[in-house]
């Protein structure tokens, strides 16, 4: 496992994509196929099922390290990661013999499954004392199931493509669906004959550029098609060779995640590729994105969630029809064909045409943007009617124009340490607005500040702590921040009855005193305004 | 009456009328070591270890009255017996032993028990009350052996050389920098220094500390930069001074670098866990070796240490001092000159 632990450390130590790929390539070139298969499995994010509950791990590790639970917790707060805390807490193991990764996973890790507590505890304690620091860290990451590494699945695919000489699309295709991380699988993964992968391959997504200039600089409004900019998951739905594939823009295959869309996709004629947005949809309008997150956060989709949060593909482009690549044809023609195709597909509403936004001139487009939130969209898209479907993000033919974020001025009231890169530093904040003479929490945010600002806020928190509850500190209400967010809705889970979407710190209002922060009534007014 | 007590200006020995590491100007200051957070400007007189005099001199007004006393030598200050003992932190660092009427107190200053070729090794001193730092007072801090860390540094340096990059290693200008230099292999490439490091390194050389040859970066041939390792204080990170070296890989040498989150936050490419403070096991061992029945914790994870000791039936107390120990922040100025007043 030493080579794998070295790879893990190398990926963690650099932010340079080239160096990460080089480290991956080195590893895949020299690792035995059995190890390389497991490495691929973990690196692309297939995590082992959690074998031992975190609470038990804490207790056992604290006992193995001879520290009381409170001290384990203090250590955890300083480190911010359970696997690393355990790694650092225990004296280094002797790690005399190096065993392959496949042995550690198949014989030791999976051997823990279903064992009684005392057996698991005995085995874990033994492993902790056997492994050196780096290997133990990787082992703990596998045990806690939080195996995140500084390499995306995309980088792993690039490295495997480089090692094998096979193109990336083929590697992605072969990595989808169910497979066992066996040496045979790894050999098939790198096999040079790529015919197996062609049928699932999506087209590169064409992306819009944010609009930065005045609308009339785009010329005649009649040459442009306006659509809503949806806030969902961009996806291509592919029907080829009697099979259906759903790809996200991150080139991730979404098999099994949106069964209603895949079922509808099966009704499409052979040789069809649609581009659109996966959206939770009910009663003729999108549901808040938080509803989508309820679905994407789950491993298994029960009847209940499928009923409560039905997802549809709102299609806005047709890339392939009757097995012919139609991306070079003008958008107006593609859209006409798309409308006809969807009209003749009995998809029970699971595939729908993204409606055009009615606007006669640029003023109409501006008015539409103002209405976007009411329509459940986050802005408008402008696409030249004559445009081909391009590759990547280009200026000129497709633009996105988002609505301005909502914002409130709120006061920092609680702070707690971050994790990972921000461990030990107070970076996670709760903000309050005035309800009479009390500050009521309205949002949590932890992004938007520069490193330097974070340091200054951290120093403020340490000097102005009023109370401590575990890792959380109540701070003197003094600092005011402008919070920006994308939406606001009613919530039964929040004390104020309000939940905001994607809050972040837009600005530190050093010019404002806490009395000048907003009130809960102003926040409620945003809600009532239907935003 | 206790032999030492905490005042607004620092730890004070009333019987002997002197302060240990005061943070404001006083008449008589006994100084454990010359790091900025342990030295106040403007005191009427300073007492420090004999090997520490030249180091302290560099950080104070040239007119400052500094008296040196050999390790283990005892002075009588108004009936209080005072002696200094090696703390193993940096050149000249000392623990202050104070004795009156059979009662013994020891103030650790900053200390480490790991070997360091640039200063005298820490010696445990028996006492009744031990005033200790606990910068790294959490059980997750356990220093790896030094030799493999230097192997890692050399490997990183060689990798940078083959990638055509300069190697910038940050560590405090006083103490850490010289310890790093002492551990480097000059066969790998030239060792260059930042001005602040070069000045302190000269003091170490004058004191007879064996160090491999170094060149002040300003005087070095440009063509050597890409093969060189440059030792600079953390505050030089990201500065115009650092950018002159062109394509570069950066690292920070500090105990905090043992934890991944701190490594990421430091904004450097690599972190090497080399500390001049005791780690958790050494801290507990050092406390045990003093035989003290009372522990005062001055800086670092004081609440943790106090609770740990109290749970073991010891008399322990956390003091609010202004010492900082090793700062986690790469851009901090803990090793810079103390601010007057």
Same domain, A223 and A119: no
Per CB-CB distance under 8 Å, the chain B contacts of A89 are 139-140
Out of A68, A88, A425, closest to residue B140 by CB = A88
Task: State which of A129, A144, A159 marks the end of a domain.
Answer: A144
What residues of chain A, 85 to 104, have a C-beta less than 8 Å from chain B?
A: 85, 88-89, 91-92
Closest CB to B140 among A70, A78, A419:
A78
Mutation target vs A (from B138, B143, B147; most A CBs, 10 A cutoff): B138
Which one from A229, A304, A495, A512 is the annotated catalytic residue?
A229
Q: What is the CATH number of the domain that holds A501?
A: 2.40.50.140
Q: Specify whether B161 is located in the same domain as B123.
A: no
Q: Is residue A160 part of a domain?
A: no
CA A178 – CA B63 distance, rounded (Å): 78
Q: What is the CATH number of the domain that holds B290?
A: 3.60.15.10
Which tokens in the block code for residue A202?
A: 């999506």
The CATH number of the domain holding residue A359 is 3.30.470.30
Domain boundary (B236, B252, B272) is at B272
Task: Please indicate, yes or no, whether residues B197 and B249 belong to a single structural domain of this protein.
Answer: yes
Q: Are residues B54 and B126 in the same domain?
A: yes
Task: Answer yes or no: A229 catalytic.
Answer: yes
Q: Is residue A153 part of a domain?
A: no
Q: Are residues A397 and A415 in the same domain?
A: no
User: Could you tell me which of A397, A402, A421 has the C-alpha nearest to residue A12?
Assistant: A421
**What does the pLDDT read at residue A531?**
47
Residue in B with minimal Cα distance to A69 = B308
Q: Residues A376, A229: one domain?
A: yes
Same-domain pairing of A356 and A455: no
B309 located within any domain: yes
In this structure, what is the dihedral angle of CA atoms B55, B58, B63, B69, given to the nearest 10 degrees?
A: 0
The answer as to whether B68 is a domain residue is yes
Task: Pick B140's closest partner by Cβ from A89, A422, A455.
Answer: A89
Shared-domain flag, residues B14 and B135: yes
Please report residues of B whose CB lies closer than 8 A to that of A150. Answer: none
Is residue A201 situated within a structural domain? Answer: no
With 0.90 as the threshold, say if the pTM is over it: no
Are both B97 and B168 inside the same structural domain? no
Instruction: Report strand pairing: A498-501 vs B294-300.
Output: unpaired
Planar angle of CA A152, A157, A158, nearest 5 degrees: 95
Q: For B289, what's the count of Cα atoms within 13 Å in the CB-facing half-sphere?
A: 13
B171 with B253, same domain? yes
Strands A351-353 and A311-321, by their bridges, are parallel
pLDDT of B230-276, one tens digit each? Answer: 999 988 887 889 989 999 999 999 999 999 888 877 778 899 999 99
Q: Which residues of chain A, if any, have pLDDT below 70?
A: 95-96, 177, 250-251, 297, 299, 419-423, 528-531
Residues B126 and B166 in one domain: no
Here the CATH number for the domain that contains residue B256 is: 3.40.50.10710
Whether residue A215 is contained in a domain is answered as: yes
Q: Which of A484, A474, A481 is nearest to A413 (CA)?
A: A474
- Which of B216, B242, B272 represents a domain boundary (last residue)? B272
Q: B128 lies in a domain?
A: yes
CA–CA separation, A98 and A90 (whole Å):
19
Is residue A184 included in any domain, yes or no?
no
B339 located within any domain? no
Of B325, B287, B257, the C-alpha closest to B128 is B287
Question: Cβ contact (<8 Å) for A424 and B260?
Answer: no
C-alpha distances in Å from residue A528, one per residue of A107, A369, A410, A488, A490 = 59, 19, 19, 10, 10
- Residue at a domain's end among B272, B296, B327: B272
**CATH code of the domain containing A22:** 1.10.3260.10
Phi first, then psi: give them for residue A179, nearest 5 degrees: -150, 150
Domain count, chain A: 3
Cβ-contact A291, A245 below 8 angstroms: no
Burial class (CB in 10 A: 0-12, 13-18, 19+), A86: buried
**Both A438 and A310 in a single domain?**
no
Q: Which of A14, A71, A418 sits opposite B139 (nearest CB)?
A: A71
pLDDT at B336: 37
- pLDDT score of A248: 87
Same domain, B208 and B129: no
For a pLDDT cut of 90, what percent of chain B falls above it? 84
Residues B158 and B266 in one domain: yes
Q: Is residue A170 part of a domain?
A: no
Q: Are residues A412 and A397 part of one domain?
A: no
The answer to whether position B341 is within a domain reads no
Contact predicate A171/A157, CB 8 Å = yes
Are residues A410 and A506 part of one domain?
yes
Q: Which residues of B touch A455 (CB under 8 A)?
A: 329
Residue A86 lies in a domain: yes
Domain membership of residue A83 as a residue range:
2-144
Residues of B in contact with A81 (CB under 8 A): 260-261
Number of domains in chain B: 2
The verdict on A304 and A415 lying in the same domain is no
Same domain, residue pair B267 and B282: no
Q: What chain B residue is nearest to A88 in terms of C-alpha separation?
A: B140
Q: Does A64 touch chain B (CB under 8 A)?
A: no
Whether residue A422 and residue B265 make contact (CB cut-off 8 A), yes or no, is: yes
CA B17 to chain centre: 26
Asked whether residue A191 is domain-assigned, the answer is no
Could you say which residues of chain B have pLDDT below 50?
330-341
* Best A66, A79, A83, A90 residue to mutate vs chain B (most B CBs within 10 Å): A79
| A85 vs B contacts (CB less than 8 Å) | 140
Task: Answer yes or no: do A72 and A23 share one domain.
Answer: yes
Asked which of A121, A144, A167 is the last residue of a domain, the reply is: A144
DSSP A423: B
- Please give the structure tokens belonging to residue B35: 């790091």
Nearest CA in chain A to B331: A452
- Sort out which chain A residues have CB atoms less than 8 A from B140's CB and list them: 75, 78-79, 85, 88-89
Is the same domain home to A245 and A387?
A: yes
Can you give the residue range of the structural domain that contains B168? 146-272
- In a shared domain, residues A269 and A302: yes
CA A130, A132, A137, A139 torsion-angle sign: negative
Contact A74 B301 (CB under 8 A): yes
Do B41 and B113 have their domain in common? Answer: yes
- Strand positions, DSSP E, A143-249: 206-207, 209-210, 224-228, 233-240, 243-248
Q: Of A382, A402, A422, at which residue does a domain stop?
A: A402
Question: pLDDT per residue over B40-57, tens digit each?
Answer: 999 999 999 999 999 999
In a domain, B199, yes or no: yes
Best A15, A88, A463, A471 residue to mutate vs chain B (most B CBs within 10 Å): A88
Q: Do A233 and A370 sit in the same domain of this protein?
A: yes
Q: Are residues B211 and B262 in the same domain?
A: yes
pLDDT at B117: 97
């Amino acid at each position: 496992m030493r080579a794998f632990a070295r790879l893990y450390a190398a990926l963690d130590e650099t932010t340079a994509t080239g160096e990460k790929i080089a480290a991956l390539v080195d590893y895949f070139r020299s690792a035995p196929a059995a190890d390389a298969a497991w490495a691929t499995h973990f690196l692309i994010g297939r995590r082992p099922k959690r074998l031992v509950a975190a609470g038990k791990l804490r207790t056992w590790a604290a006992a193995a390290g001879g520290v009381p639970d409170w001290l384990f917790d203090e250590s955890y707060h300083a480190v911010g990661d359970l696997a690393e805390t355990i790694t650092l807490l225990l004296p280094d193991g002797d790690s005399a013999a190096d065993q392959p990764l496949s042995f550690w996973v198949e014989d030791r890790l999976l051997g823990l499954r279903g064992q009684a507590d005392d057996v698991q505890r005995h085995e874990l304690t033994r492993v902790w004392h056997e492994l050196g620091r780096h290997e133990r860290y990787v082992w703990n990451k596998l045990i806690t199931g939080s195996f995140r590494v500084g390499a995306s699945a995309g980088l792993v695919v690039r490295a495997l493509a480089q090692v094998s000489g096979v193109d990336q699309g083929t590697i992605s295709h072969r990595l989808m669906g169910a497979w066992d991380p066996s040496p045979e699988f790894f050999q098939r993964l790198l096999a040079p004959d790529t015919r197996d992968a062609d049928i699932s391959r999506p087209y590169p997504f064409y992306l819009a550029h944010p609009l930065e200039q005045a609308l009339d600089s785009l010329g005649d409004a009649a040459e442009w098609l306006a659509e809503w900019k949806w806030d969902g998951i961009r996806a291509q739905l592919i029907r080829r060779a009697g099979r259906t594939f759903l790809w996200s823009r991150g080139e991730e295959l979404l098999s099994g995640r949106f069964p209603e869309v895949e079922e509808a996709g099966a009704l499409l004629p052979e040789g069809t590729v649609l581009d659109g947005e996966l959206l939770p949809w009910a009663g003729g309008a999108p549901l808040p994105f938080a509803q989508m997150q309820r679905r994407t956060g789950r491993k298994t989709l029960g009847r209940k969630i499928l009923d409560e949060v039905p997802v549809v593909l709102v299609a806005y482009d047709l890339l392939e029809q009757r097995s012919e690549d139609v991306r070079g044809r003008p958008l107006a023609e593609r859209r006409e064909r798309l409308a006809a195709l969807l009209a003749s597909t009995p998809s029970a509403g699971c595939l729908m045409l993204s409606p055009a936004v009615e606007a006669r001139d640029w003023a109409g487009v501006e008015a539409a943007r103002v209405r976007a939130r009411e329509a459940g969209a986050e802005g408008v898209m402008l696409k030249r009617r004559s445009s081909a479907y391009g590759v990547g993000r280009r200026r000129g033919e497709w633009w996105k124009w988002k609505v301005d974020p909502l914002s409130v001025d709120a006061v920092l009231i609680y702070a707690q340490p971050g994790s990972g890169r921000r461990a030990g530093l107070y970076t996670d904040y709760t903000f309050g607005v005035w309800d009479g003479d009390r500050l009521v929490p309205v949002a949590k945010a932890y992004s938007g500040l520069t490193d330097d600002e974070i340091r200054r806020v951290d120093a403020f928190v340490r000097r102005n702590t009023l109370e401590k509850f575990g890792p959380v500190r109540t701070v003197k209400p003094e600092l005011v921040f402008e919070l920006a967010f994308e939406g606001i809705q009613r919530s039964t889970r929040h004390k104020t009855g309000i939940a905001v979407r994607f809050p972040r710190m837009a600005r530190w209002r050093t010019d404002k005193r806490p009395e000048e922060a907003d009130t809960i009534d102003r926040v409620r007014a945003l809600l009532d305004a239907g935003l | 009456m206790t032999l030492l007590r905490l005042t607004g200006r620092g730890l004070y020995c009333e019987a002997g009328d002197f302060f240990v590491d005061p943070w404001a100007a006083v008449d008589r200051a006994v100084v454990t070591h010359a790091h900025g957070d342990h030295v106040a400007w403007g005191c009427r007189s300073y007492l420090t270890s004999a090997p520490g005099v030249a180091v302290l001199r560099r950080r104070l007004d040239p007119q400052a009255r500094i008296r040196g006393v050999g390790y283990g030598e005892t002075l009588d200050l108004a009936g209080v017996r005072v002696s200094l003992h090696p703390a193993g932190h940096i050149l000249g660092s000392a623990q202050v032993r104070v004795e009156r009427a059979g009662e013994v107190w020891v103030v650790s200053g900053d200390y480490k028990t790991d070997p360091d070729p640039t200063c005298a090794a820490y010696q445990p001193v028996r006492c009744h009350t031990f005033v200790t730092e606990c910068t790294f007072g959490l059980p997750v801090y356990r220093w790896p052996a030094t030799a493999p860390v230097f192997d890692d540094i050399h490997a990183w340096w060689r990798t940078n050389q083959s990638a055509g990059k300069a190697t910038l290693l940050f560590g405090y200008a006083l103490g850490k920098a010289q310890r790093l230099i002492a551990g480097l292999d000059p066969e790998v490439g030239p060792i260059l220094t930042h001005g602040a490091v070069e000045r302190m390194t000269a003091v170490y050389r004058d004191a007879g500390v064996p160090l491999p040859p170094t060149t002040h970066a300003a005087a070095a041939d440009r063509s050597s930069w890409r093969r060189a390792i440059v030792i600079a204080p953390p505050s030089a990170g990201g500065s115009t001074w650092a950018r002159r070296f062109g394509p570069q890989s950066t690292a920070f040498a500090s105990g905090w670098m043992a934890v991944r989150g701190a490594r990421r936050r430091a904004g450097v490419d690599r972190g090497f866990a080399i500390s001049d403070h005791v780690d958790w096991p050494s801290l507990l061992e050092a406390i045990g070796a003093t035989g003290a029945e009372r522990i005062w914790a001055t800086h670092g994870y004081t609440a943790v240490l106090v609770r740990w000791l109290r749970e073991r039936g010891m008399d322990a107390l956390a003091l609010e001092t202004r010492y900082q120990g090793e700062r986690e922040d790469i851009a901090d100025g803990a090793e810079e000159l103390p601010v007057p007043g």
